[in-house]
Amino acid sequence: MVPVGIQSANTFEALLTRLRESHEVSVYEAIERFIYAGEAVGFDVHDLIGMLDRGMTFEELLELIESKMESSQTAA
């Protein structure tokens, strides 16, 4: 039989591990969606990383992608 204190510690550790895993998955999914959005308007992953490396904020880059998407929709 496992003492209650050890059992709850193991359960807590398992819960933390699951939370970290789910957080990582959602971050990866968000990055993947971001890349797909950039590609949809003509940027490849190297373009996106380059813009961030040159000092563009993530918000500015999202606004640029959104603007390009809106422009392409009105042109169609």
pLDDT-based confidence at residue 64 (cuts at 50, 70, 90): very high
**To which residue do tokens 């640029």 refer?**
64
Quote the pLDDT of residue 38.
92
What total of structural domains would you count in the chain? 1
Q: Tally the residues of the chain.
A: 76
Quote the pLDDT of residue 74.
81
* Residue 37 lies in domain: 4-75
Instruction: Give 70-74's long-range contacts (Cβ < 8 A, gap of 24+).
Output: 72/41
State pLDDT tens for residues 2-54: 444 444 556 667 766 766 666 666 777 888 888 899 999 999 999 999 999 99
Amino acid at 46: H
